[in-house]
Amino acid sequence: MKYFTLLLCVFPFTAVLAALGAHGPDGEHLDATPSVASSALARLADGSVNVPIKSQRLMQVRTILAPLGQGRASVQLPAQVIANPNFAGVVQSGQRGRLEPGKTGFPLVGQRVQKGEIIGWIRFATDSYAEAAQQARLAELSSELTIAQQRVARLVELSGSVPRKDIEAAQATLRGLEVQHSSFKQSLSRREALKAPVTGIISTVNAQAGQVIEAGQTLFSIVAPNQLLIEARTNKADLVEQIYQAFIASSADSKLKLVGAGGMLINGLLPITFEATNNSGLVIGQPVTVIATLKENRSGIVLPAEALVKGAANEDQVWIKVSAERFLPQMVKFEYLDARSVLVTDGLAADNRVVLQGASLLNQIR
C-alpha cells in the first residue's frame, strides 16, 4: 500500500514538467522523453540540452510564452558610411610648385582645423629655361621703367613749353610700367597659401616639406566626423517609397533620416542615402547593414533580438523550454523590428515557451 501511494505522488509531478511548451509550430509534441537522460549539463542525442535548475539560475535563463503580435516588415540593405560633401573638402595645388610648412608645421591626421586656416604654402617652381625667360623679361621691364622715369622727369622740367597732355601721357605710361614691374618681380618668388576649405579634422596627409608637387595633386583631406551619410544599395526601385524608418543593425541607438534615392542604377543597384543623426562609432568607409522597416504590418511573435542565436549550420534559431530541465533548438524565420527586437514570422507556435535570456549560453553546451 505504501508503494502504490508513492507512484501516485510521482506521476502527477512528471506530467506537470512535460506540459511546458508541449507543441511545436506544426502541432507536433515536444514533450517526449529523450532516449538518453542526464542529470547534468549535456547535449542530448536529439539536439536538445539538459540544464539542471541550479545551472539555469547561474546562467540566468529566462523564458516566456511566445507572445503573438504585429510589427512592420523590414529589409536588410548593405551600406557604407560616406562623408557629407557639404562638410568635407580637399586641399590641392593650383599649379606646380614646392611645399613649405606653415608657422606651426603641417597639420597631422586627426588634428582639427578651421575654415580659412592656412595649413601650408606652395612656392611656384619653373624649369631653368622658363626662369631665364622670366629674368630676361624682368630686366626688360626694368629698362623700360628707367626710360619712362627719365622721360617724365624731362617733361616736368619743360612743363612751360610742353603740352600738358604729353606730360600726363608720360606719367600714365610710367605708372603702368611700375605696376607691371612690381607684379612680375613678385611672381618670381610668389607663393600660394593652402587654406582649409571647411572646418573639420584632417583625415589624410600627403605633404612633406620641400616636396615638389604637380597641379591638382591632393595634399590634405578634411572631414567633419559629426556630419556623415549612409549610402545603401537595393535592387528594388520602389523601395524608398515603402520605407517607414531605418537604423543600423550593429547600433541599438542609431537612427537614420531618409534623404532619398538616386535616379540612376549603379552596377545594377539603386543607391539610397540616409543621414546619420547619431554618428557614434561610425567612420567614413565603414561597411554597415541598414535595417529599413516598411509601412506594411506583419503578424508574428515579437521577441528580443538576444533570443536569436546561430545553429551549427549557421541557421537562425531560438531555444524552447520543453520540460523543467530540457531545452530544444527551433529554426525560425524573422524580420527586424528595431535594433533590439525581432518579429518571428515562421517556426514558433503560440504555446512555445521561448528562452529570452541565456540563449547564447545554451547554444554553447556540448
Tens of pLDDT along 107-164? 999 999 999 999 999 987 665 566 666 667 777 878 888 888 888 888 888 877 778 8
Please count the structural domains in the chain.
2
Same domain, 180 and 260: no
Same domain, 95 and 59: no
In a domain, 180, yes or no: yes
Same domain, 160 and 292: no
Would you say 298 and 72 are in contact if contact means Cβ atoms under 8 Å apart?
Answer: yes
Same domain, 26 and 79: yes
User: Which band of pLDDT confidence, cut at 50, 70 and 90, is reported for residue 340?
Assistant: confident
| Integer Cα distance of 309 and 13 in angstroms | 32
pLDDT at 186: 64
Same domain, 60 and 191: no
| Integer Cα distance of 278 and 272 in angstroms | 18
Domain that holds residue 51: 19-84+227-366
In a domain, 10, yes or no: no
Same domain, 191 and 316: no
> What does residue 98 show for φ and ψ, rounded to 5 degrees?
-115, 135
pLDDT at 5: 36
- Tell me what the mean pLDDT of segment 328-335 comes to: 91
Same domain, 126 and 58: no
Would you say 20 and 56 are in contact if contact means Cβ atoms under 8 Å apart?
Answer: no
Same domain, 120 and 76: no
306 or 19, which is more confident?
A: 306
In a domain, 12, yes or no: no
In a domain, 167, yes or no: yes
Which residue, 185, 207, 223, sits at the end of a domain? 223
In a domain, 247, yes or no: yes
Region of poorest pLDDT, from 35-49, 202-216, 315-329, 332-346 = 35-49
**What pLDDT, in 10s, does the model give residues 227-267?**
999 999 999 888 988 898 888 887 766 789 999 998 888 88
Handedness of CA 201, 203, 207, 213 (dihedral sign): negative
Percent of the chain scored above 90 by pLDDT?
Answer: 35
Q: What is the mean pLDDT of the chain?
A: 82
Q: Given a cut of 50, is residue 9 above it in pLDDT?
A: no
Same domain, 202 and 237: no
Would you say 332 and 344 are in contact if contact means Cβ atoms under 8 Å apart?
Answer: yes
- Tell me what the mean pLDDT of segment 293-300 comes to: 85
Percent of the chain scored above 70 by pLDDT?
Answer: 84
| Integer Cα distance of 180 and 54 in angstroms | 95
**What pLDDT, in 10s, does the model give residues 95-114?**
888 899 988 899 999 999 99
